Amino acid sequence: MFYNNDHVPAEEINGGYCHVLLYSFCFLHREYLLFSGFPFLSLRSSQKIKKSWFFFILFTIAFLYSNLLRISGVVILPPLAESLGISASMVGFLSSLFFYTYGVSFVFWGTVADRLGSFKTCGISLIIAAAASAILAQADTPLTIGIGRALSGLGLSSAFTCVMLYTAQTFSRERYSFLVGIIMMIGHSGTVIAIAPLGAALDAAGIAGVFNVLGIVALIIGAFMLICRKYDPILLEEKKDEKPLSLSRFVSDIKCGAIIICGSFPLLVVILTWVTSSASISTLQGLWAVSWIQTTTGGAILASRSCATWISAGMVLGPFAGGFIVRRVAGSKKAFLIMCILVELSWMLWMTVSFLGSGFDILGFSGFLTGFFSGAAFVFMGNSIRDLTPSKWTGTVIGLLNLLIYGFLIVFQWGTGFILDLFPADPVSGYYSQTGYQIGFGIILIIQGFSFYLITKTRSFAS
């Protein structure tokens, strides 16, 4: 992520986030009152509904918090490394340890969640994250920093799978799509609005103080989920799986998840569209956006960071709008195709205005549209996965999905970097070549467009 905590535009964007987040919580409160206050509901049913909404909010907060902890290294790791006299290359290596364990463990936690339930899985993983924060708070060598980063990645990757699994098991199909939009909007807001608060906390409490607080909060949420695991929908099912976990069962579950995906062409198409579109926007948002904007405008780094932040703004607000849209159109193939076409068109707009050397305003607007339509499409994809996947295998399928996203992300980021190196940078400014960006992301758009084309070969995305 490329954000800066000392420029005004980011504060304005964050203020907009706060209004949207407040509205979403008000909407959730209305939904809660609507379905917990009907006079024909018994007291027991009303209490059950109240608990369902409470735990949904708790899981969503856990997802937001996992994103906050995930990006904490962006703010805290550089000054920590500087205080220990660690080189920049070593900082990059230590930071990357997080993403290796984060990406690989998606499948592990997805399979575990199908067996043990969302409560226990998320609780255990957050306790691991709390231990990682405690290690980082006392870290004074590259080894301890590396261990802390690796454990952080392992502990934070389950939150998304668990909140999606709990929501699918607890709420009706009519409500699920909107709730997926809320999950993505609130959860991803942690990657945007947290930079400035973390920076301020770092100045006030120091590195050890910040990591201690982050660890304590993670420990509290994780422990509370373990205590409340008796409310897990999986434990309330009559056909719950009592067999213990083992390596052979873990491998068998992964194979079954892969067979389910490959055996259903509509599900495979949904997975491919989500993987390619997510890896595409993440490659832009998380790696090249700022430098590409600098190449296009020749502007300063702070102004380029402010402009790039609008991509993230779209990524947050898109799922919120997508939740309302998908709630009305459900598994409509036509609506899904239109969403994906809008994603592709918004990408083409971004590349066109970049090629033409447009200013910050037009780049920011096109970046916002790219993030917005991508985020809205993700809600449709999430809703379709719930409809097309047997409930017993939801966690495993989501885990495999995230593993594929991470794999494609690595390929896309490495591939764009490789292509940029083929073209000489500007000798005066040192900026990368605009031609390199156009070719690199042009190839990505062809891959993404092919996955969207497969939608036309599918009859329906409804269960």
Per DSSP, the residues of 97-136 read HHHHHHHHHHHHHHHHHHHH-HHHHHHHHHHHHHHHHHHH
Tell me if 170 sits within 8 A of 237, measured CB to CB: no
Q: Helix (H, G, I), strand (E, B), or coil: what is residue 352?
A: helix
pLDDT at residue 6 is higher than 80: no
- Give the residue-averaged pLDDT of 69-98: 71
- Give the residue-averaged pLDDT of 23-49: 52
Q: Helix (H, G, I), strand (E, B), or coil: what is residue 246?
A: coil
C-alpha span between 340 and 389 (Å, rounded): 21
**Can you give the pLDDT at residue 237?**
58
**Can you give the pLDDT at residue 4?**
37
Domain extents in the chain: 1-245, 246-463
**Can you give the pLDDT at residue 78?**
67
- Give the residue-averaged pLDDT of 287-294: 87
Phi and psi at residue 460, to the nearest 5°: -160, 155
Q: What is the mean pLDDT of the chain?
A: 82
**Can you give the pLDDT at residue 131?**
94
Tell me if 388 sits within 8 A of 267, measured CB to CB: yes
Buried b or exposed e, range 180-217, using 16+ CB within 10 angstroms: bbbbbbbbbbbbbbbbbebbebbeeeebeebbbebbeb
**Can you give the pLDDT at residue 326?**
81
The lowest-confidence range among 118-122, 211-215, 258-262, 323-327 is: 323-327
> Which of these, 144, 131, 127, lies nearest to 77 by C-alpha position?
144
Look at the block and give the residue holding tokens 């984060």: 102
Q: What is the pLDDT of residues 113-133, one digit of tens each?
A: 888 889 999 999 999 999 998
Buried b or exposed e, range 2-32, using 16+ CB within 10 angstroms: bbbbebebbeebbeebeebbeebeeebeebb
Confidence category of residue 198, pLDDT binned at 50, 70, 90: confident
Beta carbons within 10 angstroms of residue 243's beta carbon: 7
For residue 110 the two structure tokens come to 């997805």
Q: Identify the DSSP state of 7.
A: -
How is domain 1-245 classified at the CATH fold level?
A: Growth Hormone; Chain: A; (1.20.1250)
C-alpha span between 140 and 135 (Å, rounded): 10
Tell me if 322 sits within 8 A of 378, measured CB to CB: yes
**Can you give the pLDDT at residue 10?**
43
Tell me if 380 sits within 8 A of 335, measured CB to CB: yes
How is domain 246-463 classified at the CATH fold level?
A: Growth Hormone; Chain: A; (1.20.1250)
**Can you give the pLDDT at residue 275?**
95
| Alpha helices (runs of H) in 284-332, residue ranges in sequence order | 289-297, 301-329
Q: What is the pLDDT of residues 371-389, one digit of tens each?
A: 999 999 999 888 888 888 8
Separation of first and last alpha carbons in the chain? 37
- Give the residue-averaged pLDDT of 143-170: 89
- Give the residue-averaged pLDDT of 241-247: 61
**Can you give the pLDDT at residue 41?**
45
For residue 416 the two structure tokens come to 């764009």
| Cα–Cα separations (whole angstroms), residue 261 to 20, 50, 67, 168, 383 | 35, 34, 27, 18, 15
**Can you give the pLDDT at residue 74?**
60
Confidence category of residue 266, pLDDT binned at 50, 70, 90: very high
Sign, CA torsion 285/443/161/107: negative
Alpha carbon dihedral 403, 90, 76, 135, in 10-degree steps, equals 80
Q: How many helices (H) and strands (E) does the chain have?
A: 17, 0
- Give the residue-averaged pLDDT of 259-281: 94
Tell me if 389 sits within 8 A of 330, measured CB to CB: no
pLDDT at residue 394 is higher than 50: yes
Q: Would you mind telling me the total number of residues written for the chain in this entry? A: 463
Q: What angle do CA 266, 271, 272 make, to 5 degrees?
A: 95
pLDDT at residue 147 is higher than 70: yes
Q: What is the pLDDT of residues 422-454, one digit of tens each?
A: 988 777 777 889 999 999 999 999 999 999 999
**Ramachandran area for residue 215 (φ above 0: left; ψ -120 to 50: alpha; else beta):** alpha
- Give the residue-averaged pLDDT of 201-224: 88
Q: What is the pLDDT of residues 303-337, one digit of tens each?
A: 887 888 898 889 888 998 888 888 777 667 888 99
Rg over alpha carbons for the chain, rounded to the nearest Å, is 22
Which residues have CB under 8 Å from 452's CB, separation 6+?
273, 337, 340, 341, 343, 344
Select, from the ranges 62-71, 236-245, 254-263, the one with the highest average predicted confidence (pLDDT).
254-263
Q: What angle do CA 231, 102, 115 make, to 5 degrees?
A: 35
Does residue 37 or residue 194 have the better pLDDT? Answer: 194
The lowest-confidence range among 184-198, 202-216, 385-399 is: 184-198
Confidence category of residue 194, pLDDT binned at 50, 70, 90: low
**Can you give the pLDDT at residue 375?**
92
User: With 0-12 CB in 10 A as exposed, 13-18 as middle and 19+ as buried, what is 136?
Assistant: buried
Tell me if 369 sits within 8 A of 346, measured CB to CB: yes
| Alpha helices (runs of H) in 356-458, residue ranges in sequence order | 360-388, 394-421, 434-453
Buried b or exposed e, range 336-347, using 16+ CB within 10 angstroms: bbbbbebbbebb
C-alpha span between 189 and 197 (Å, rounded): 13
